[in-house]
Amino acid sequence: MNSDGKPLVSVVTPVYNGEDFLAECIESILKQTYQNLEYIIVNNCSTDRTLEIALEYAKRDPRIRIHTNKEFVGVMENHNIALSLISPDAKYCKLVCADDFIFPECLTRMVDLAEANPTVSLVGSYSVVGNKVMNQGLEYERRVVSGTEICRATLAGGPYVFGSPTTLLYRGDLVRKKKHFYPNSSPHCDTTACYQSLEDSDFGFVHQVLSYTRIHAASQTSRSLRFGTIYLATLGDVIRFGAKYLSPIELKQRIAGLLEEYYRALVPTLFTHTRNRKFWQQQRRELQEMGLKFSRTMLFRAVLLKGLRLVFNPSRGRKRLLEIWEKGERIEGQYYRQAS
């Protein structure tokens, strides 16, 4: 703690070729009303001006440290490297993605809630995503909920409060407990990390918009929505954690529902990825890792349902098909289903 009795917060930003938005991200950290922080920027062998921008700011503020990886690594591995560099004295950890930024009172509000509730291991908040507010939060009068309750609700398809890494504050001990806080290479394993962290602790939520989450066509989440892998990630979490929180009937129904959503999301890729063998092999492999098989029958059924919509609403159906053909590989910026 500093002389004011404020605990140290480690803020980390893993980045690769982030010159377009990195300065705005860094500025948002330096403008925090909460001052007892260290800021670690992890450069993943960027080939643009990312490192130059980071070094310029490090010269101005001694709280900034720069780490450059010796070799390029995957996105989530770079996130784990960033988390591994937090100070042993840091009581809290805040990851801010290089495309995003946080509002001035973000750290103050989140730390205040965590300090007032020692059983809370994760603190969430609302975030502006494009022109919408992301996260279906708790009821306004509830600021703390048991990990068991929120995990059950989320796995059952209820309110989504975990958001993205930028919307969360972690307790430092929680991050240091595991060598790899984010447990796999999936771009959505930050949610998996939430389920792991809340098995024996509580979840807190600040009912304020505390961050801005940028959406653009090149983002991994946009691609995941377009190609259905967001449903695979959710499915993997349900299979991994569902047995602990859901009844056998609830678990079976939830898996069936997610599979239907997944195959529906795959229908447009029949136009854009028909001959992409690697893409279809990846779909089969990810399902096999969950103990499931790729179903041509379910995919064909999803195609038929899309066809029926075309029959009953031909003008809208033709417009959608034309969009798919014209856009091809282009992907619109989106962030999760709540903001799509």
To the question of domain 9-213 being in CATH 3.90.550.10, the answer is: yes
pLDDT higher than 90, residue 113: yes
User: Is the separation of the CB atoms in 209 and 126 below 8 Å?
Assistant: yes
Q: Which residue has the higher pLDDT, 133 or 89?
A: 89
Q: What is the pLDDT of residues 39-69, one digit of tens each?
A: 999 999 999 999 999 999 999 999 999 999 9
pLDDT higher than 70, residue 336: no
**Amino acid, res. 243:** A
Token pair listed for 60: 């101005």
* 115, containing H or E segment: helix 106-116
Q: Which residue has the tokens 């939520």?
A: 205
pTM of the model: 0.85
Return the pLDDT at 223: 52
Q: What is the pLDDT of residues 194-229, one digit of tens each?
A: 999 999 999 999 999 999 998 755 555 545 555 557
Return the pLDDT at 186: 84
- Which pLDDT band holds residue 330 (cuts at 50, 70, 90)? very low
- Rounded Cα distance, 280 and 263, in Å: 12
Return the pLDDT at 314: 52
- Which pLDDT band holds residue 237 (cuts at 50, 70, 90)? very high
Token pair listed for 197: 């962290």
Q: List the one residue out of 166, 161, 127 whose CA is nearest residue 144.
A: 161
Q: What is the pLDDT of residues 277-322, one digit of tens each?
A: 888 898 999 999 999 999 999 999 998 887 655 545 555 554 544 4
Burial of 298 (0-12, 13-18, 19+ CB in 10 A): middle
User: Is the separation of the CB atoms in 308 and 300 below 8 Å?
Assistant: no
Q: List the one residue out of 260, 257, 229, 245 whose CA is nearest residue 155.
A: 245
Q: Kindly list the domain boundaries of the chain, sorted by start residue.
A: 9-213, 220-339
User: Is the separation of the CB atoms in 159 and 153 below 8 Å?
Assistant: yes
Q: Check residue 65 and report its DSSP letter.
A: E
Burial of 84 (0-12, 13-18, 19+ CB in 10 A): middle
